[in-house]
């Protein structure tokens, strides 16, 4: 068998619907758009939630509660077993985690959790450690140091 012999399984591929190709095609004349109106026109569409001028559901329902999700502290979680990938004696911080592909995107800090084991002495700097993760790192001969937040400028206050 060669690449040019490969074919899709019978019945898995369908012809594309050919609109406006005569009335006998089943999709001729108005091409499935009905007669006149906004949705029959070129570029005609309505925005999400639009109910033809009626007060939309999301405006009819009462607004209740409060969400603080936008201000939530988002930590990148790294387990002790992932620290095993670094050399012994390495000083590991967020920058090194990013280079190794363990941390991506916007985060507020790095949190080290205790899943797995570590056998190397590694110096880890992070924003938060679980108690057992800290114990495992120190038991292996490394250090678990909490990163100091940058103090706000005195000139701005």
What are the tens digits of pLDDT across the range 102-123?
Answer: 999 999 999 999 999 999 899 9
Domain spans of the chain, in order of start: 72-146
| Structure-token pair, residue 50 | 């639009």
The pTM of the full predicted model, rounded to 2 decimals, is 0.56
Angle at CA of residue 51, ends 48 and 57, nearest 5°? 80
pLDDT band at residue 25, thresholds of 50, 70 and 90? confident
| Pairing mode of beta strands 123-126, 128-129 | unpaired
Task: Report the C-alpha gap between 40 and 45 in whole angstroms.
Answer: 9
Task: Report the C-alpha gap between 92 and 84 in whole angstroms.
Answer: 11
Task: Report the C-alpha gap between 147 and 75 in whole angstroms.
Answer: 13
Report which DSSP code applies to 149: P
CATH architecture of 72-146: Ribosomal Protein L15; Chain: K; domain 2 (3.100)
Task: Report the C-alpha gap between 86 and 98 in whole angstroms.
Answer: 13
Rounded average pLDDT over 57-84 = 92
Name, in order, each residue with C-beta under 8 angstroms of 66's C-beta and a sequence gap of 6 or more. none
Say if residues 94 and 112 touch (Cβ distance below 8 Å).
no
């Amino acid at each position: 068998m060669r690449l040019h012999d490969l074919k899709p399984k019978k019945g898995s591929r369908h012809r594309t619907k050919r609109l406006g190709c005569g009335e006998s095609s089943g999709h001729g004349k108005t091409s499935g758009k009905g007669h006149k109106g906004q949705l029959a026109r070129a570029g005609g569409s309505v925005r999400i939630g639009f109910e033809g001028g009626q007060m939309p559901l999301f405006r009819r329902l009462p607004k209740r509660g409060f969400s603080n999700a936008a201000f939530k502290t988002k930590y990148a979680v790294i387990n002790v077993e992932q620290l095993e990938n670094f050399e012994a004696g390495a000083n590991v911080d967020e920058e090194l985690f990013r280079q190794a592909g363990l941390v991506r995107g916007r985060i507020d800090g790095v949190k080290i959790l205790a899943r797995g084991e570590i056998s190397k002495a590694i110096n880890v700097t992070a924003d938060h450690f679980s108690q057992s993760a800290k114990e495992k790192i120190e038991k292996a001969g490394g250090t678990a140091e909490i990163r100091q937040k940058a103090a706000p400028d005195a000139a701005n206050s």
